Every structure is written in structure tokens, then in C-alpha cells.
Amino acid sequence: MQDSFQTLKAQVYQTLRREILSGTTPPGTRLVRRTLSLRLGVSPIPVIEALHQLEKDGLVESQPMYGHRVRALSVDAARNDHVLREAIECQAARLCAQNASDKQLETLERQAVELDKILKGDPEGATPAEEHLEFHLGVARATGYSGLVDALQNLWFRRLMVFNTVNAAALGIPRNWHGQLVKALATRDPDVAERAMREHVQFNVAQQMKMLESSRVTEPVKDTASPSKNGSKKSVRKTSKV
């Protein structure tokens, strides 16, 4: 029974996280427990647990007498996150070049090919959030330092929110953008890897900050009922009783 609840909680968490990271549920959207439990076909308990985890992740914020909402974005916070991300990812690139096994580099290469293929196929759409996240976390994991992974994950959660909110994918990216980064890591030269990662992290940042500044993402958004484009309710599990 406990395992079943944990599985259901994980399903709710993954569904809500995917909707937030992809931009389907935009920043500022109020997350009403009862509305979410009805839409996802579950009791309020796994929804509450999922919202608490999302709050720990930095994707959701709460206030007394108001409840939860998707974390609102601000230009200042995004700029601060960028500085931290650049510092962490550049150090991760140096350590990855030095410490990654051949198998880890091969895995990163496969992920890069797939990610670049997806981005090239739909440059106007939202970035493939999970694939993008996993690639960059994979670089951090290959360093051998779990603290880098933990620090980077929450930064990347917020990074994807900004990326999809301003539709940064529409700005375009160079050919084989992530593949080029893996090639730099594979040189095993920490200086080469750091330079490549710094160029990667800094790409289009000024334009993204300008687009974020002109957006209205910090304004409240109506309660979320069903983020799906066709308006139909999406259930985590059709017949789930908790």
C-alpha cells in the first residue's frame, strides 16, 4: 500500500513538474489542490506531497491563506541564476573532462545527438525540457561530485522555466550545439572544456533577459484546470483511489 502511494505521488510529481518545465503551466499560475486532484484523478494527499516536493525544487512557492502557485519569474533572479549556473557548469566541464569515464562520454555523446536532433526538428517550439535537463546533469554526474549535481538541478529547473517562458528556442542555436560541447569534453583538456561550456552557457543570454523583461510572467495567472491544449482533462491514472 505504501509502495502504491509512493508510486502515485511520483506520478503526480512528474506530471506537474513536466507541465511547469515545458511552460504548459506558466509562472504565476495558482495550483489549487482540489482542482489538481480532480484533473489528475487522485485524492488530494499525493497532490499535497507533490506540491511540497516541487516547492523544495524551487518550482513552486506558497503563501498562507493563498496556497501554492508556480514560482513567479523576475529578471534579477534570472540574472543571478545565470551567474551561478555559469560558475557551476564551467567547473563541472573542467572536472568532467578530467574524471569522466569513456562510457560516460559515450552516453553524453548519444544524448547530445538526440537533443540536437529534437531541437533542430522543432526550433519554434518549447525546448525538450527533460532531455535538456538530463544532458546537463549528466555532465555534472560525470565529475564524480554529487554536490554539483544537486546545486545544478534546481538552477536548471528555473533555467527551463525562463527558456520556455520567453520561447528562447525561437532564437535558434548553432548546428550540433550539444555535440560540439561533448567533443570539447572528450579532449580531456579542462581549459578547452571550460571555454566551450562558457560559450555554451552565455549563448543568447542577453536576448533572453531582454525578452523576459518585456514579458508579463510576474503577473498572476488564472487557476490551472487543465493545461492540455485540447482542453481535455488528463488523468495520471484513470482509476486510482487513495
| Reported pTM | 0.78
What pLDDT, on the 0 to 100 scale, is given for residue 240? Answer: 34
148/124 same-domain check: yes
Domain boundary pick from 37, 70, 103: 70
92/58 same-domain check: no
Q: What nine digits make up the cell of 41?
A: 484523478
- With respect to residue 11, please indicate whether it lies within any of the assigned structural domains: yes
pLDDT digits (tens, 9 = 90+) for 31-84: 999 999 999 999 999 999 999 999 999 999 998 888 999 999 999 999 999 999
Q: Range of 159's domain?
A: 75-214
What pLDDT, on the 0 to 100 scale, is given for residue 124? Answer: 45
Please state, in angstroms and rounded to a whole number, the distance separating the CA atoms of residues 37 and 143.
Answer: 40
pLDDT digits (tens, 9 = 90+) for 187-227: 999 999 999 999 999 998 888 898 888 876 555 444 554 45
- With respect to residue 130, please indicate whether it lies within any of the assigned structural domains: yes
Determine how many CB atoms are found less than 10 A away from the CB of residue 213: 11
- With respect to residue 118, please indicate whether it lies within any of the assigned structural domains: yes
Of 94-98, 153-157, 230-234, which gets the smallest average pLDDT?
A: 230-234
- Considering its fold, how many domains does the chain have in total? 2
pLDDT digits (tens, 9 = 90+) for 140-195: 999 999 999 999 998 999 988 888 877 766 677 888 999 999 999 999 999 999 99
43/62 same-domain check: yes
Q: Is the pLDDT reported for residue 236 higher than 70?
A: no
What pLDDT, on the 0 to 100 scale, is given for residue 216? Answer: 62
Cβ-count burial 66-81 (b if 16+ within 10 Å, e if not): eebbbbbbebeebeeb
Domain boundary pick from 12, 46, 70: 70
What pLDDT, on the 0 to 100 scale, is given for residue 172? Answer: 76
57/96 same-domain check: no
What pLDDT, on the 0 to 100 scale, is given for residue 168? Answer: 65
What pLDDT, on the 0 to 100 scale, is given for residue 214? Answer: 83
Q: Provide the CATH number for the domain around residue 183.
A: 1.20.120.530
- With respect to residue 234, please indicate whether it lies within any of the assigned structural domains: no
Going from the C-alpha of 6 to that of each of 3, 12, 45, 47, 174, the distances in angstroms are 5, 10, 11, 11, 41
- With respect to residue 108, please indicate whether it lies within any of the assigned structural domains: yes
What pLDDT, on the 0 to 100 scale, is given for residue 241? Answer: 32
96/177 same-domain check: yes
Q: Which residues contact 132 (CB under 8 A, 6 or more apart)?
A: 115, 156, 160, 163
31/113 same-domain check: no
145/175 same-domain check: yes
Please state, in angstroms and rounded to a whole number, the distance separating the CA atoms of residues 107 and 110.
Answer: 5
- With respect to residue 236, please indicate whether it lies within any of the assigned structural domains: no
Domain boundary pick from 26, 51, 70: 70
- With respect to residue 15, please indicate whether it lies within any of the assigned structural domains: yes
183/65 same-domain check: no
What pLDDT, on the 0 to 100 scale, is given for residue 38? Answer: 96
